[in-house]
């Protein structure tokens, strides 16, 4: 079924009514949730994205490991219903504070940290076949864009070539109802993990020289950025090139942009971008571009462990990736994007990127 087709208020009401019915029948109240872990996702060869499997788990009231979460699930559900009915939009941080209070007669809070309410919300999205945006909630914003595109963001036209040094901040909700593409003349989109490198390229007006959009995810991309990348490709047919640090964490950011994440696998078809290509950095670039050895960083234990895990993920199975990860393990180093500055401050915008893109020297 396509995501986000159910009426959220109806879904929330049904969730409540089902539990009340179970209580009336003296059954152990039970919320059925899709399992959102590595054990229940698969890489769909046809669509090339990570998909959620059909394993389910039961969150039941009469199970001491679940009782608290069961209560939190209903608290978040009730709060979402209230927000929708009041027709306001709030952040997930607001939601956290809205459901947080001390349980009468105890020293215990309904939720202690936002890290408790966030997964419960994701559970609800998955269980009710709805989207956070439909529940009138927005994630924290993260990410900026610059380049030859004009969008309409809740009624305001924004020209991303005229946004100064910080670019257009990507809103948390970039669904077509909110953000409309008015015009775009770019040839491709360059997604950059690091904001500092994005600022360098923006200062150099790299987007003008290369006629592209530059977009920074500032680390792991937020939903808004991922959804925007997805729309730029599907609606405007722009190629997506990704530039990250040359380490396992950078590679994984690329992988999340390309085929989705384990945690939000139920949204992969809206957030994933299977046609994305990886520019770099790779450890193999060191030799190719004559990057001095003293700017590489020795792999630590965590890097090695993670690299070995990634070698086993189906979506890192293409031989180019196996080759790169194994090469990294062999040479025992990684490198940051900023390491390119060792070759001169403009090396990245004037040599590295033009050559990589010109020769289509990508990893799949």
Partner 1 sequence: MAEVVAAKEPVNVTKTAQQMGEEQREISISQFFEKNRHLLGYDNKAKALLTIIREGVDNALDACEEARILPDISVKLEEVDKEKFKIVIKDNGPGIVKKQIPNIFGKLLYGSKFHRLKQQRGQQGIGVSGAALYAQLTTGEPLEIVTSTGDGKLHRYKQKIDVKHNQPVILEDSAEDTEKWHGVRLTFVAEGVYREGKQSVLEYLKQVAVANPYANIAFDSPSGKTEFKRGADHLPKEPKEIQPHLMGVEVGIMSRMLHDTKARTMATFFTAEFSRIGTLTANEICKKASIDPKISPRKISDQQVVEIVKVVKEMKLIRPPTDCLSPLGEKLIESGLKKEFSPEWVASISRPPEVYRGFPFQVEVGIAYGGGITEPRLLRFANRVPLLYQQGDCAITKGATEIDWKRYGIESDKFPTGPVVVFLHLASVWVPFTSESKEAIANYPVIIKEIKLGIQECARKLSLYLSGMRRAQRQAERLAIFERYAPETAKALEELTGTSAKKIIDQIKKIVTEKGSEIEEEENEGDETGPGEPGGEPE
- Show which residues are catalytic: 97
Helix, strand and coil in the chain, % to nearest 5:
45, 20, 35
Residue from 5, 7, 10, 16 binding partner 1 (CB under 8 A):
16
Radius of gyration of the chain (CA): 23
Nearer to partner 1, 3 or 346 (CB): 3
Minimum CB distance to partner 1 smaller for 267 or for 286: 267
Under the binding rule (CB under 8 A), the answer on residue 20 touching partner 1 is yes
If one asks whether residue 314 binds partner 1 (CB under 8 A), the answer comes out as no
Q: Are 159 and 183 in contact (CB under 8 A)?
A: no
The whole-angstrom separation of Cα 343 and Cα 340 is 6
Indicate the residue among 160 and 264 with the shorter CB distance to partner 1. Answer: 264
Nearest to 170, CA basis, from 215, 212, 200: 215
Residue 54 binding partner 1, by CB under 8 A: no
Asked if 328 is part of the footprint of partner 1 (rule: CB under 8 A), the reply reads no
DSSP codes, 229-255? HHHHHHHH---EEEE--BSHHHHHHHH
CA 275 vs CA 36, 116, 192, 272: distances in Å: 24, 34, 16, 9
63 in contact with partner 1 (CB under 8 A): yes
Applying CB under 8 A, does 157 fall inside the site for partner 1? no
Is 71 a binder of partner 1 (CB under 8 A)?
yes
User: Considering only residues 109-138, where is the footprint of partner 1 by CB under 8 A?
Assistant: 110, 118-119
Give yes or no for residue 294 binding partner 1 (CB under 8 A): no
Residues 63 and 30: beta-carbon distance below 8 Å = no
In the complex, which residues of this chain contact partner 1 (CB under 8 A)? Answer: 12-13, 15-17, 19-20, 23-24, 26-29, 35-39, 57, 59, 61-71, 74-75, 77-78, 81-82, 92, 103-106, 108, 110, 118-119, 139-140, 142, 219-223, 248-249, 252, 256, 261-264, 306, 309
């Amino acid at each position: 079924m396509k995501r986000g087709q159910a009426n959220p208020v109806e879904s929330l009401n049904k969730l409540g009514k089902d539990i009340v019915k179970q209580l009336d029948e003296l059954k152990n109240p039970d919320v059925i949730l899709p399992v959102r872990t590595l054990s229940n996702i698969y890489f769909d060869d046809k669509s090339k994205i990570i998909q959620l499997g059909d394993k389910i788990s039961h969150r039941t009231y009469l199970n001491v490991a679940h009782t608290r979460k069961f209560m939190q699930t209903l608290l978040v559900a009730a709060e979402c219903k209230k927000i929708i009915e009041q027709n306001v939009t709030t952040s997930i941080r607001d939601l956290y504070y809205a459901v947080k209070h001390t349980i009468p007669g105890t020293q215990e809070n309904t939720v202690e940290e936002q890290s408790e309410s966030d997964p419960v919300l994701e559970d609800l999205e998955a269980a009710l076949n709805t989207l956070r945006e439909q529940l009138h909630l927005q994630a924290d914003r993260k990410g900026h864009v610059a380049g030859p595109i004009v969008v309409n963001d809740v009624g305001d036209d924004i020209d991303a070539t005229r946004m100064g040094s910080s670019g257009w901040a990507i809103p948390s909700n970039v669904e077509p109802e909110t953000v409309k593409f008015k015009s775009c003349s770019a040839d491709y989109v360059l997604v950059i993990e690091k904001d500092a490198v994005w600022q360098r390229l923006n200062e150099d007006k790299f987007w003008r020289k290369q006629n592209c959009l530059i977009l920074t995810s500032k680390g792991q991309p937020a939903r808004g950025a991922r959804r925007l990348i997805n729309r730029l490709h599907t609606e405007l047919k722009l190629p997506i090139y990704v530039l990250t640090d040359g380490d396992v964490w950078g590679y994984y950011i690329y992988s999340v942009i390309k085929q989705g994440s384990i945690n939000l696998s139920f949204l992969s078809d809206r957030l994933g971008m299977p046609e994305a290509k990886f520019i770099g950095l790779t450890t193999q670039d060191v030799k190719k571009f004559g990057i001095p050895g003293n700017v590489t960083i020795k792999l630590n234990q965590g890097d090695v462990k993670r690299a070995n895990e990634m070698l086993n993920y189906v979506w890192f199975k293409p031989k180019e990736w196996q080759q790169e990860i194994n090469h990294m393990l062999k040479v025992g180093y990684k490198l940051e994007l900023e390491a390119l500055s060792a070759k001169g401050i403009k090396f990245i915008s004037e040599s590295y990127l033009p050559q990589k893109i010109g020769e289509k020297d990508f990893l799949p």
